[in-house]
Structure 1
Amino acid sequence: MQTIAERLQSAYVRIEQATDNAHRPRNSVKLLAVSKTKPVSDISQAYEAGHRLFGENYVQEGVEKIIQLQQLSDIEWHMIGPIQSNKTKLVAEHFDWVQSLDRAKIARRLNEQRPANLPPLNCCIQVNINDEASKSGIPPNQLPELVEIVEPLPHLTLRGLMAIPKANMDAVEQETTLSMLEELFGEYRTKLSNFDTLSVGMSDDVEAAIQHGSTMVRIGTAIFGARN
């Protein structure tokens, strides 16, 4: 049975190979280890293996882990799940990134509740690229309006886009979906100074996502094993 350190190493190698195949620099894609439902001991093992970027889907669970591991001050914590209005204060006070921003109301609350002693909260707007009712995120045609609202907020830094493409797409649909995301990202990257992150690609589609400009892939099961 492989250790978490060994599985992490396999993920790094996979990303390196995909960036090589896409003719991109190896350091152009980051790995977000998705640690939802996993115990703090698993995160500690990944940390000891040198990993620093962790993603949580559930606010309460994520905050508990952040508090338990607060002595590891160089961990970068990403909130990647939906955020309810009554949880924005917790997110604003504890996380370094929010990748699932999809409403002006949430953006404004995070901005107001971000403590003054912390740097601005890094944010990605979640785009519902395949228009799936089961998923959070805004349709692409609403992106300009939300960008206009988020960009000037002083305690948020708009860093890019996040998406969860539809599962089990055929090659043509996958190509169309990822090309749309790549184009959207490229459009705003040229306009906005801090817009440098396209968070797309999970265990099943890492290679295709990197081929289409992903700068951050989110991998959970392949590192930590099946969810509890």
Structure 2
Amino acid sequence: MNDLKQARNNVLQQIQLACVHANRDARDVQLLAVSKTHSSAMLQEMYEAGQRSFAENYLQEAVEKMQQLAALEIEWHFIGHVQRNKTRPLAEQFAWVHGVDRLIIAERLSAQRTAQQPPLNICLQVNIDAQQSKDGCQPDEIAELVRQISQLPHLKLRGLMVIPAPGNDQAFLDARKLFDAVRVQHLHPEDWDTLSMGMSGDMNEAIAAGSTMVRVGTALFGTR
């Protein structure tokens, strides 16, 4: 068994164990492979190991990989900061965008997603623990954003994405509480199903708090 396949199996086993401890079904937690700075060859190898969802932070790098791996059925996620002047390629080429934190960004993505494409899956990024160095809207802004963005065409508003400071497990619990509280503002509450939180070092705590999608890079691909 090659190293990448073994690494993926190890992460899946960790997710399984975390779900057992949390009395959850492991099928309710999706593994998102954070592949930024790693080569297309490594992504192809991880794909051959069974991984289908990959996340990129840098737009130009992601577009190059999309072109190189166009023959593969990859679900592409963008998890970096969304710049207002770069929404078109996100709207046109990705399946998911996780870093939405302003209404104007969602409006541009909605306008630039074609009616012929499936709706673009959106997560709102929340600065859940008030880190000065982190992007994201404030928790008290989320309910109104959910109400407004859930009305836009060509988008499917799925949930929240958070990146707490290391060791701040309470932030995961706060995110879950916020996730549950703002569902009532959603025009299509059945779409509100994704809590994107937890990475290589804290996925156990995130899963215990209710994460439905863990974004894992180092544990899959190794250090950069």
Q: Is the 8 A contact 1:59 1:83 kept in 2?
A: no
Q: Distance in 2 between matches of 1:67 and 1:22?
A: 40
Match of 2:192 among 191, 195, 199: 195
Residues 117-136 of structure 1 aligned to structure 2 (within 5 Å)? 117-136=116-135
Q: Distance in 2 between matches of 1:5 and 1:142?
A: 41
Q: Is the 8 A contact 1:189 1:196 kept in 2?
A: no
State the Cα distance separating 1:30 from its structure 2 match.
0.6
Q: Is the 8 A contact 2:75 2:95 kept in 1?
A: yes
Aligned to 2:49: 49
Q: Distance in 2 between matches of 1:226 and 1:206?
A: 17
Q: Distance in 2 between matches of 1:184 and 1:52?
A: 29
Give the fraction of aligned pairs with identical amino acids, expressed as a percent: 48
Q: Distance in 2 between matches of 1:200 and 1:29?
A: 10
The TM-score with structure 2 as length reference comes to 0.95
Residues 60-209 of structure 1 aligned to structure 2 (within 5 Å)? 60-72=60-72, 74-167=73-166, 169=167, 173-174=168-169, 176-189=170-183, 192-209=189-206
Instruction: List 4+ stretches of structure 1 deviating above 4 A.
Output: none
Q: Is the 8 A contact 1:57 1:79 kept in 2?
A: yes
1:83-110 Cα shifts (integer Å, max 9, x gaps): 1111100101110000111011111110
SS in 1 for 2:190: coil
State the Cα distance separating 1:2 from its structure 2 match.
6.2
State the Cα distance separating 1:116 from its structure 2 match.
2.3
Q: Distance in 2 between matches of 1:219 and 1:17?
A: 16
Which shifted more, 20-29 or 185-194?
Answer: 185-194
Amino acid at match of 1:180: D
For structure 2, the residue ranges without an aligned partner over 5 or more in a row are: none
Q: Distance in 1 between matches of 2:75 and 2:183?
A: 23
Aligned to 1:9: 9
For structure 1, the residue ranges without an aligned partner over 5 or more in a row are: none
Amino acid at match of 2:80: G
State the Cα distance separating 1:188 from its structure 2 match.
3.3
Q: Is the 8 A contact 1:188 1:195 kept in 2?
A: no
SS in 2 for 1:159: strand
The TM-score with structure 1 as length reference comes to 0.93
SS in 2 for 1:214: coil
Q: 2:21 aligned with 1:33, yes or no?
A: no
Amino acid at match of 2:25: P
Aligned to 1:210: 207
Q: How many residues align?
A: 221
Q: Distance in 2 between matches of 1:197 and 1:7?
A: 24
1:63-101 Cα shifts (integer Å, max 9, x gaps): 1111221111x2111000001111100101110000111
Q: Distance in 2 between matches of 1:24 and 1:149?
A: 32
Q: Is the 8 A contact 2:16 2:26 kept in 1?
A: yes
